[in-house]
Structure 1
């Protein structure tokens, strides 16, 4: 955790440990922040010959310092998440078109109209959510909320839910249509459904990490 040859007092080591623990959700950020802290500590050792409690208090409580560093990275992380949303949307649209080209358009039970609705309209909702997430990231970088009543952390979650519902509708349609095609043609629709599931899993993992960046400051 500390740089080789850097002899820190126990209080400084404990401070670094708490900061690193608070940033454990993103090891890369934890490494970057603790390296910057070590630079500050090294400069203090050179100038003052030691690190006292007053010097550490200047950084604030370790968890508050970690949260401030996290919050500073939130706009960049939100933009990256929006980019991943658009990538997932593009993949799902491509797989949807491929599935439509392979599976029969007619003959499906009318009771599947809800699946049709989810497949198409939830995708539109997800696209709007991704656009709003990108706008929110830019406004967050300027210290401005998108809307006073709409926290930025809510947008990625709503977008993911819309994508999940769209893919669920598409999976139901695929399953129903498989009975109408030859087994030799199963590969394409099943692979497209699997690709959608992988995209959603990656997006869900990214958003789980993103929520740490968008936690309200205390």
Structure 2
């Protein structure tokens, strides 16, 4: 992944927003422009190195316009993270289909999907951004983790409730089982980053995780 940077002055800035009551489309365009400029600024300079003034400048809006939407830099970072995770979820919804007929087959697909997304450059860059933040901004890392984790756990609970019964199993606590599964996948993610595993190796790891979860010691 190339090193993120802010556009140079020579590349031009977005035109300043004209005064007056903007249309809904114009408001949405301004909002998107601010979030995109903030995203690039945070990646290039980090949270602490980015100023609200710089974001307003590169978004082509006044500081008043920026502050009316985001009261401070922490709120802006939170909005940027929410925007990015929303886009990832939508892309995943459109492209990541789960078609397995058994719980084991479906969990393998989920594990592969999560591991594949964990290697996406945007996801990696976002994790590094928030994990490198200190002070109040550090809490965004926990919020990002919840934003990525909790919807997935809710989905896994539904899958376990539906397919475990078909497989003749009755988990006492599907939510706890989902959390254990997520923890195992996250451990593989960290291993993959540390050892720079390729997609094929990660796919095999996904199968191993599910095998151990489903069959315990017999899958060793």
| TM-score normalized with structure 1 length | 0.27
In terms of Rg, which structure is larger? 1
Return the TM-score normalized by structure 2: 0.26
